[in-house]
Amino acid sequence: QAQLVESGGDSVQAGGSLRLSCTSSGLGARAYIMAWFRQVPGKEREGVASINTGGVTKYSESVQGRFTISEDGAKKTLYLQMNSLKPEDTAMYYCAADVLYRPIPSLDSGDYRYWGQGTQVTVSS
- Phi, psi at residue 88, to the nearest 5°? -75, -5
Give the pLDDT of residue 1: 82
Give the pLDDT of residue 74: 85
Give the pLDDT of residue 77: 94
Distance CA 104, CA 33 (A): 9
Question: Would you say 76 and 60 are in contact if contact means Cβ atoms under 8 Å apart?
Answer: no
Low-confidence ranges of the chain (pLDDT < 70): 31
pLDDT mean across residues, the chain = 95
Give the pLDDT of residue 62: 97
Give the pLDDT of residue 21: 98
Give the pLDDT of residue 48: 98
Give the pLDDT of residue 34: 95
